Amino acid sequence: MTTQTTTADTPSTPTTGAPTGLIGIPAQAGRALATGGGALTIISTFLAWTWTAAFPGDLTVYGYPGGLQVLALIGGALTTLFGLSSYGVKGLGWLTPAGADGALKFAALAAFATVWYTIIAITVDLGGIVNLEPGGFIAALAALAALLGALALPFERPEPEPHDPDDTGWELARHRLRTLRDTGKAAFSSGTARPIGTLPSYAEILIIVAILGLGLTVFTYGIGTEYDELFIGFLITAGFGFAALNKSGLVNQASQITARHQNITICGAFVAAAMFPFTQTDDQYATVGVYILIFGTVALGLNIVVGLAGLLDLGYVAFLGVGAYAAAMVSGSPSSPFHVHFPFWAAVLVGAAASLVFGVLIGAPTLRLRGDYLAIVTLGFGEIFRITANNLDGTSGPDITNGSNGISSIPNLNILGFDFGAEHAIAGFTIGRFANYFFLMLIITAIVVLVFRRSGDSRIGRAWVAIREDETAALAMGINGFRVKLIAFAVGASLAGLAGTVQAHVTYTVTPEQYLFAGPIPPNSAFLLAAVVLGGMGTISGPLIGAALLFLIPNKLQFLGDYQLFAFGLALILLMRFRPEGLIPNRRRQLEFHEDAEAPTVLTKAGA
């Protein structure tokens, strides 16, 4: 069995004269300071940080962390564990397969940012630093010490043997393989590398179950944050915590394990998602969940067009609107000009077929364009759809869409006697209206995922990727570029229409204002495209995660008022700066943006 290795950022035990980081103290002392600071941060969360319960979360209790103290506890625990792993403590080496120093820096930053944000929030909300208890001061000093210790760690990486700039491509590849071999040997001899892929299958499946359980816990906690300060603290801890786990190599190992058991991972993810309504005491957050699934399903359809075929579509939300309007007109709404009531399966087919037809009609004359020209045309189509739907009111045009009032009073679905608008008791849990639609949308999302996987792995999917990478070369190889792109456009449009049929019933009303190019509330074309790019183009889980973040974060940041979009845009800029390939990138895009860092792993596979 082939064994892969990943090298650490720095040796686990620094040698004399080793470089230091931003703080001019020895790296060994920095590790001790960071580890001790992380442990003291954990202890401080069991102390009172303020004397009054006026600050949300009740941080006045001794012996029981509450509110933001829980997040500080997580940051301190990560810092302590990565610090102990950097010392080579037995049993903790698996935490840092790619080295502990980089992970320790981000973990300490997570603890510091969370603690100091909490201290500042207490001071501002309660009107002065005098409202802090000794536990708050201890936490602030401990987190600061952990950060200073982490900044003392060296930043240098072992430099590979230089190559001759006159080497040919084949000679350069051989040089990289030699460098990887030598670096891997050095990593194993120093104890900084860990073998990957040596676990039995049942152990890897248990790891997948743990990952999915952790993901469900984090999502449930984030969506259920009860006050604004807690959600901001959650974003801080989750962001820097994910960066620490990624730097340690755990995210890369998890990605490799899930890739080896892709079918189990996908099935497990849907089971975990189905458990979400049962974690809620009411239907409040199931509302957010069903909209996230609608948004994510549409983003996954757009991922076929943008991520696989490489076509920049700026009017994709119009296909969602076509499906929603078509389903609303045949679902028994009194505002519909047709006055018919189709069963749900027929309404789904009508919505998907209408979007597919519009996709072909729009794509046929425009897909001979490329790049920015295609983007401008699709942007125009999105605006034309919205304006046309607004004018078909019986005054400016025929009475079909009821103009700006839209198609209203769309009845709830009733499938085989199951009323989606009524509450139901399942296994002792009361499932409300939005939870019912959540389960329905989960089934539709599974269908879209299946279509994406099968089409992406098919011959037509390979042709999409070839067109995306180099259309001229693909045409030279005999691929019919126009036909391939038109199929991508039609498939993506029909998937958006499929989601639109459920959206029409969830929202009760379909209006033109729901389908803007850009607006404060998704789904709109700009947010859909951002979800694909942010999550990871060409992947299945990427757009779903990107859609969840792009819907959840603005929904939770409404207290910022006019500064909401500013804060959201700033977060996107930072993410694109430090992870331009997306949160869940495919291998090709990861190599494009981080070739030096990722190429050895791929070359190891090639060499095997």
Q: State which amino acid sits at residue 562.
A: D
* The 3-state secondary structure of 544-564, one letter per residue: HHHHHHHHHHHHHCHHHHHHH
- pLDDT of 345 reads 87
209 burial level (CB within 10 Å; 0-12, 13-18, 19+): middle
Q: Provide the strand spans (E) within 107-222.
A: none
For 18, 156, 181, 311, 546, the CA distances from 161, given in Å and listed in that order, are 20, 15, 11, 41, 39
Largest CA distance in the chain: 84
Among 289, 276, 58, 32, which residue's Cα sits nearest to residue 145? Answer: 32
Instruction: Give the C-alpha separation, 474 to 482, whole Å.
Output: 11
Contact predicate 6/180, CB 8 Å: no
Task: Report the 10 Å Cβ neighbour count for 180.
Answer: 20
- pLDDT of 508 reads 86
- pLDDT of 123 reads 93
Instruction: Give the C-alpha separation, 72 to 47, whole Å.
Output: 12
Pairing, β 424-426 against β 418-419: unpaired
- Give CA angle at 72 (49, 156), nearest 5°: 135
Mean pLDDT by runs of 10 across the 608 residues of the chain is: 42 46 76 93 93 87 90 94 85 82 91 94 90 92 93 63 46 47 43 52 89 90 86 91 89 86 88 86 80 89 87 86 90 84 89 91 82 84 87 79 84 83 77 86 90 86 86 86 88 90 88 78 77 84 85 77 74 77 70 50 36
Dihedral sign of CA atoms 6, 10, 13, 15 in order: positive
Instruction: Give the C-alpha separation, 503 to 444, whole Å.
Output: 12
DSSP string, 133-147: -HHHHHHHHHHHHHH
Tracing tokens 């050095």 back to the chain, one arrives at: 186
pTM of this prediction? 0.78
Contacts 24+ apart (CB under 8 A), 21-25: 21/150, 21/151, 21/152, 21/153, 21/154, 21/155, 22/151, 22/152, 23/148, 23/149, 23/151, 23/152, 24/152, 25/152
User: What CATH class is the domain 283-569?
Assistant: mainly alpha
Contact predicate 315/378, CB 8 Å: yes
- pLDDT of 593 reads 58
Task: Report the 10 Å Cβ neighbour count for 493.
Answer: 32
For 101, 168, 293, 386, 539, the CA distances from 588, given in Å and listed in that order, are 27, 22, 27, 36, 11
Contact predicate 323/500, CB 8 Å: yes
Among 323, 273, 315, 337, which residue's Cα sits nearest to residue 507? Answer: 323
3-state class of 519 per DSSP?
A: coil
- pLDDT of 223 reads 84
Contact predicate 234/115, CB 8 Å: no
Contacts 24+ apart (CB under 8 A), 346-349: 347/501, 348/498, 348/501
Every domain range in the chain assigned CATH 1.10.3470: 283-569
Q: Which two tokens stand for residue 60?
A: 């006045």
Instruction: Give the C-alpha separation, 465 to 460, whole Å.
Output: 9
- pLDDT of 141 reads 95
- pLDDT of 45 reads 93
Q: Provide the strand spans (E) within 510-583.
A: none
Instruction: Give the C-alpha separation, 351 to 329, whole Å.
Output: 10
Q: Report the length, in residues, of the chain.
A: 608
